[in-house]
Chain A
Amino acid sequence: MNVVVIGLSHHSSPVELRERFAFAEANIPGALRSLRESGVAAEAVILSTCNRVEIYAATALDPAKAFAALKEFLTGWGESTGESEISSLSPQRGEEAVFSNSKPLAPTLSPLGRGDAVKLSGAELYTLTEPQSLEHLFKVACGLDSMVLGETEILGQLKQAYTLAHQQGHTGARLNKAFQRAFHVAKHVRTHTDIQRGSISVASVAVELAEKIFSSLKGCDVLVLGAGDTSEKTARALLSRGAHSIVVASRSLERAQILAKEFGGRAVPFDQWTAEFVKIDIAISSTSAPHHILDRARLEPLMQARHQRPLLLIDIAVPRDVDPEVNFLENVYLYNIDDLQAVADDYLKQRKKEIARCEQIIAEKIKPLLEPKNLQPRMNTDETNGACAATSPSPP
Chain B
Amino acid sequence: MAWFTDRHFFLLAVLVYGLSTVYSVFLWRKGFRQDDHVNYLLLLAAFVLHTVAMVRRGFSIAHCPVNNLFEATMFIAWSAVAAYLVIGLLPRLRFLGAFASPVLFAIGVFALMPELDPPHGPKPEFTGALTSLHAATILLAYGAFGLGAAAAGMFLTEQHDLKFHKLRAVLSLLPPIQRLEIVTGRLVLAGFILFTIGLEAGRYLPRSTAAGYWSDPKVIWSIFMWVVYLALLASRRLPAQSSRRFAYGIVAAFVFLLLTFWGTNLLSPLHHP
Contact = CB atoms under 8 A, between A and B. Distances in A.
Contacts of B114: none
Interface string B151-189: 000000010001101010111001011110010000000
Classify chain B: how many residues form its interface, as a range: 20 to 34
Contacts of B241: 308
Nearest to A331: B242
A146 to B, nearest CB: 22
A202 to B, nearest CB: 12
A304 B239 contact: yes
B240 interface: yes
Contacts of A342: 165, 167
A347 B171 contact: yes
B243 interface: yes
B146 to A, nearest CB: 23
B179 A330 contact: no
A330 B177 contact: no
B158 A212 contact: yes
Interface in A268-311: 304, 307-308, 310
A330 B170 CA distance: 19
Given A212-B158, A333-B163, A205 B170 contact: yes
Contact of A335 (B165, B171, B242): B165
A287 to B, nearest CB: 22
B63 interface: no
A213 B242 contact: no
Contacts of B178: 213-215, 310
B37 to A, nearest CB: 16
Interface string B237-250: 00111111000000
Contacts of B243: 308, 310, 331
A347 B239 CA distance: 38
A128 interface: no
A205 B171 CA distance: 10
B242 A308 contact: yes
Interface string A85-113: 00000000000000000000000000000
A342 B244 CA distance: 26
A328 to B, nearest CB: 9
Given A308-B239, A308-B241, A211 B163 contact: no
Contact of B165 (A304, A308, A339): A339
Given A211-B176, A330-B244, A343 B239 contact: no
B182 A215 contact: yes
A196 to B, nearest CB: 14
Contacts, number: 55
Interface string A331-354: 101010001001100110010000
Interface in A354-386: none
A19 interface: no
Contacts of B176: 211-215
A211 B244 CA distance: 18
28 contacts: A198-B171, A208-B170, A209-B170, A211-B176, A212-B158, A212-B162, A212-B170, A212-B174, A212-B176, A213-B162, A215-B176, A215-B178, A215-B179, A304-B239, A307-B239, A308-B239, A308-B241, A310-B178, A327-B163, A330-B242, A330-B244, A331-B242, A331-B243, A333-B162, A343-B171, A346-B171, A347-B171, A350-B171
B177 A212 contact: yes
Nearest to B245: A330
A136 to B, nearest CB: 30
A304 B177 CA distance: 20
A304 B240 contact: yes
Interface string B219-250: 00000000000000000000111111000000
Nearest to A209: B170
A275 B244 CA distance: 26
Nearest to B158: A212
Closest 8 A/B residue pairs (Cβ): A330-B242, A215-B179, A215-B178, A307-B239, A343-B170, A339-B165, A346-B167, A214-B178
A40 B133 CA distance: 86
Given A209-B170, A213-B176, A342-B165, 20 more contacts: A198-B171, A205-B170, A208-B170, A211-B176, A212-B169, A212-B170, A212-B174, A212-B176, A213-B162, A213-B178, A304-B239, A307-B239, A308-B239, A308-B242, A308-B243, A310-B177, A310-B243, A330-B244, A346-B167, A350-B171
